Structure 1
Amino acid sequence: MKLNESRIEKINEADLNKANYVAYWMQSAQRMSYNHALSYAAQRANQLNQPLFVFFLIDKNYPEAEYGHYEFMFAGLKELKKELEQHNINFFIFSYEDVDIFKKITEKASLLITEKAYLKNLRKWKTKAADLIKVAFYTVETNLICPVEEVSEKEEYAAYTIRKKINKIKDQYLYDYNQVLPENTSGLKLSEELKEYLIKDLDQYLAEMDFAERISYKKFFKGGYQAAEKKLNDFLANKIASYGEKRNIPHLDYQSDLSPYLHFGQISAQEIAVKTLEKAEATEDFLEELIVRRELSFNFVYYNQQYDGSLKDILPDWAFETLKEHSSDTREYNYSYQQLKNADTHDKYWNAAQKEMKITAKMHNYMRMYWGKKILEWVSEPEKAYQYALKLNNKYSLDGRDPNSYAGVAWCFGKHDRAWQERDIFGKVRYMNANGLERKFDMEKYLAKIEQLEAEL
């Protein structure tokens, strides 16, 4: 099937240039498989009988990016480079120094194509490029199953308000489609100016980068499409049948573990959904998370660019007002950011969850809810608590700095939720405690799991 045209948007006023090649700025879709932007770029290149110029920009100062994030991403880029070269597709990795690189790349380009952006830093980056270049510039929705603006024209209140809108249109997008590759595979030579930005050795580039900490997660998560595909196949073969029953049990491993790969675009949500539907059984709970909940988070950050700012701009009125009313309530414990970072609290379950994230770059999803609720309880002001939770999650999680994680942390403060029974500190925001964990799960097994991770360091 063909690429759905509603995924494509022209974002500047410039016209087609009819020059030497079609340029594709790959950034948030770091893959070949189910990459609608790559297919559209190849389609346009074929129409013009021109080769494709695919480029990736590495920003050493990308907001909140840590050593482990770059290491994971670079592993995927090295694999991707080999795959593109096997198809004789020109692929260049550049160091991003300033916006002028877009001028240099598009001087001989007929047009420029990239993926649609949702987070504010990526949207600003692409807007700057659009204002600067003199060729037609298109974005293509490729990291969501349903285009965000096709689903809704506004920020949705909760899962129940967006679910019916997604269900109404998802069949238009939820299909296996034919990937397009460039027919003209002529090699392209870089100008001397562009050679100055070229990164030839990603390992050396990473070694020369400056980080306060160098925490590697490759023991737990290897970057790249092949690793993502392996996790998906294992999940579908061995876990999805029991996903609804066992996904929330902290000491078990019944989650897909695909969120880091989705964050970096190393695998497509559409591919995951299509392959999941082929199972035709026990898929409802997983697809609810993958499609409805995930796309609700993208709706949140796309229509509310204050997602990492003040709770007043993020939360529903009832949640903000109730937290405000209870902000001066006495807290039995009051922890600093450093104490939280070091997992130095009185709560052994919270400490274990924080350690799991620091060691493996991913916290069990149920424990992440508990983790966020306790930060709200233990930090003196809700606004400060929200910033602490974001900072910790963004620093240590491979799936941090993502629409899903911004929405997940905000949920702990009442976003996309309903009012509950009023209590101290939380007001009407949903409460969680250690007794609840112990009633539902064998938490000693979770503690033993984290102790084993520490022992193996």
Structure 2
Amino acid sequence: MSSLEVDRSVGEVLWAQPGMARGIAMLESFIDQRLRLFATERNNPNANALSQLSPWIHSGQISAQRVILEVRRWGKRMTESVSSFTEELLVRRELSDNFCFYNDNYDNINGAYDWAKKTLQDHAKDARPYLYTREQLENADTHDQLWNAAQRQIILEGKMHGFMRMYWAKKILEWTASPEEAVNISIYLNDRYALDGCDPNGYVGCMWSVCGIHDQGWAERPVFGKVRYMNYAGCKRKFDVAQFERTYAGKKS
């Protein structure tokens, strides 16, 4: 261990223990306790409804195929949840793998669709409501306590709820000087702190948020152009924002 060249300033996490046996245990707990909530609560960061399996799948300690087979085997009475989970783990994962495999620019704005590159370029010089440095963002030092809470979660736990990761990356676009900088910072933070960093899903998650990958054009607005927009008020309509903020308020690594 002492010979490894790793960034030891990023702390270890306790909730995820490595190895196939630990991955199988997490899969069993998902099927027994959380799968029934997946269809209705997967976009609620306060709900314990997700599989939490990404570190083991990312590192090859458990396969996505095995996970889907077991979920389909034991979740026959939870049809909607099984269908939603399969769509995310099979369809979305395959889309991410293919995007990164076939697109040499999977981690930069040149990999975006033409419509997205054009609209982001058209709005590149729009006034930003706030401008933060990479260091400020990394230290969760913004005016937005919800965003800060999401950044603290990934630092503390090595993971960020999927819904929050979309909001988190889109705000980086809104609060940095250019789309190129937003892509670079979001990927840097995700790869540095997430247990499933350097994964196709992470790259596509950032590219979807900033560059509209696997999405369509929406109503045009400043900074975002036609890229899908998310804001604090929209999050308040989805879940108890104050609860999530309290969970990670002021916590440091």
Q: Quickly name the TM-score band, shorter chain normalised.
A: over 0.9
The match for 1:285 is 84
Answering whether residue 225 of structure 2 is matched by residue 418 of structure 1, we say no
Q: Is the 8 A contact 2:13 2:158 kept in 1?
A: no
| Equivalent residues in 2 for 1:254-273, closer than 5 Å | 254-273=49-68
Q: CA shift at 1:208, angstroms? A: 3.5
Answering whether residue 244 of structure 2 is matched by residue 449 of structure 1, we say no
Distance 2:114 2:147 in 1: 29
How big is each residue's C-alpha offset from its partner over 1:37-76, in whole Å with a ceiling of 9 and x where there is no partner? xxxxxxxxxxxxxxxxxxxxxxxxxxxxxxxxxxxxxxxx
The match for 1:427 is 225
How big is each residue's C-alpha offset from its partner over 1:384-407, in whole Å with a ceiling of 9 and x where there is no partner? 110010000000001110011111
Aligned equivalent of 2:200, options 379, 395, 403: 403
Q: CA shift at 1:218, angstroms? A: 3.4
How big is each residue's C-alpha offset from its partner over 1:140-197, in whole Å with a ceiling of 9 and x where there is no partner? xxxxxxxxxxxxxxxxxxxxxxxxxxxxxxxxxxxxxxxxxxxxxxxxxxxxxxxxxx
Answering whether residue 37 of structure 2 is matched by residue 242 of structure 1, we say yes
How big is each residue's C-alpha offset from its partner over 1:215-242, in whole Å with a ceiling of 9 and x where there is no partner? 3333121111111111110111111112
Secondary structure of 1:298 counterpart: helix
How big is each residue's C-alpha offset from its partner over 1:108-160, in whole Å with a ceiling of 9 and x where there is no partner? xxxxxxxxxxxxxxxxxxxxxxxxxxxxxxxxxxxxxxxxxxxxxxxxxxxxx
Where does structure 2 lack aligned partners over 5 or more consecutive residues?
Answer: none
The match for 1:302 is 101
Q: Which amino acid aligns with 1:250?
A: P
Larger Rg: 1
Distance 1:210 1:400 in 2: 17
| Equivalent residues in 2 for 1:371-390, closer than 5 Å | 371-390=168-187
| Equivalent residues in 2 for 1:39-78, closer than 5 Å | none
The match for 2:12 is 217
TM-score after normalising by structure 1: 0.53
Q: CA RMSD in A?
A: 1.4
How big is each residue's C-alpha offset from its partner over 1:271-314, in whole Å with a ceiling of 9 and x where there is no partner? 001101102233000000010000000010110122123x12x1
Q: Which amino acid aligns with 1:242?
A: L
Aligned equivalent of 2:190, options 369, 393, 410: 393
| Higher RCO (CA 8 Å, separation ≥ 6 residues) | 2
How big is each residue's C-alpha offset from its partner over 1:395-454, in whole Å with a ceiling of 9 and x where there is no partner? 0001110011111111002010011000000000000000111122111111122239x3
Q: CA shift at 1:210, angstroms? A: 4.2
Q: Which runs of 4+ in 1 moved over 6 A?
A: none
Distance 1:214 1:342 in 2: 13
Secondary structure of 2:173 counterpart: helix
Distance 1:216 1:335 in 2: 24
Secondary structure of 1:421 counterpart: coil
Q: CA shift at 1:251, angstroms? A: 1.3
Distance 2:13 2:148 in 1: 22
Q: 1:420 to 1:237 in 2, by over 3 A?
A: same
Secondary structure of 1:412 counterpart: helix
Secondary structure of 2:2 counterpart: helix
| Equivalent residues in 2 for 1:320-399, closer than 5 Å | 320-399=117-196
Greater fraction of residues in strand: 1
